[in-house]
Amino acid sequence: MASLTQSIDPHLENPLDLIEQVVSANDWPFERHEDGDLTVEVSGRWCAYQLLFAWRAEVTALLFSCAFDMKVPAAKRPAICHLLNLINERLWFGHFEVWSAEGMPVFRQATLLRESPGLSASQIQDMVDLALNEAERFYPAFQHVVWGGKSPEEAIELALVDTLGEA
């Protein structure tokens, strides 16, 4: 992510306004929808990720998701659900799931902001960094199960191997 400058206004009422400033500072393509949600496309090492920020003022909560550019075939969903359990056991923040209608893996988390001074640019940066890091870390595990014929246990083991350098 780009280094955030003093030009970002931390005193905005709707967190999506601040998120839009952060996204613009990073030169990421985004779209603000009629319902107020904001979608962003970010290129990763393995694929393009679609970020969704949804603000719900009535519960003062921000929902954030990071969807993979991948479809899980129906026949592979039971194995992927087992993989999701193995992955989610290892996470401190957020969780992975597969959107049932689209069949897309997605990392999600929500932030409650009631009685909070609001969201900061650094919190947004942390949210995005965390989601992208976890998505990049576990994307190969999804690939191993969906296309490589590996079991969820084999796939998670391969995803957690620390590699040195690049080939």
Q: What is the pLDDT of residues 129-162, one digit of tens each?
A: 999 999 999 999 999 999 999 999 999 988 887 6
Q: Where does 15-159 sit in CATH, by number?
A: 3.30.1460.10
The angle at the Cα of 45, spanning 42 to 50, to the nearest 5 degrees, equals: 25
Assess whether pLDDT exceeds 50 at residue 4: no
- Is 110 within 8 Å of 48 (Cβ atoms)? no
Q: Which residue has the tokens 């998670």?
A: 156
> In 95-151, where do the E strands start and end?
95-99, 104-112
How far apart, in whole angstroms, are the C-alpha atoms of residue 20 and residue 156?
Answer: 35
Structure tokens at 16: 């999506």
- What is the reported pTM? 0.82
DSSP state of 4: P
